[in-house]
Structure 1
Amino acid sequence: MATSRFEINRLSQDELKYEILIKGFEDVGNVTEMRATLRGLFKAEKAGTSFTYPEYQIAFGVDKQAITSKIAKLTALIADLSPETVASYSKKFASKLRHILERCQRAKLTTPEKEVTQQLLVAGILRLDCKFSDRVKSLRRRSTVAIALRDLFDVSTEPVEEGDNSAEEGTVAETRKSLAKAIQLQKEGVSLKMSAHPFTFEEDSRSVEDKFKEIQNSLDSSSSPIGSKGKRNKNLRQCSF
Structure 2
Amino acid sequence: MSLFDLTGRTALVTGSSRGIGSALAQGLLEAGARVVVHGRDPDAAQASAGRLREITGGEVLVETFDVTDAEAVDAGIGRIERAWGTPDICVNNAGIQRRAPFTEFATADWHDLVATNLTSAFLVGQRVARGMVTRGSGKIINVGSVQSRLARPNITPYSATKGGVVMLTQGMCADLGPHGIQTNALAPGYFATELTRVLVEDADFSAWVAQRTPAGRWGQVHELVGALVFLASSASDYVNGQTIYVDGGMTAVV
Q: Please give the TM-score of this superposition, normalised by the length of structure 2.
A: 0.29
- Determine which structure has greater relative contact order: mean sequence separation of CA pairs < 8 Å that are 6+ residues apart, divided by chain length: 2
Higher-strand-fraction structure = 2
Q: Please give the TM-score of this superposition, normalised by the length of structure 1.
A: 0.30
Structure index of larger Rg: 1
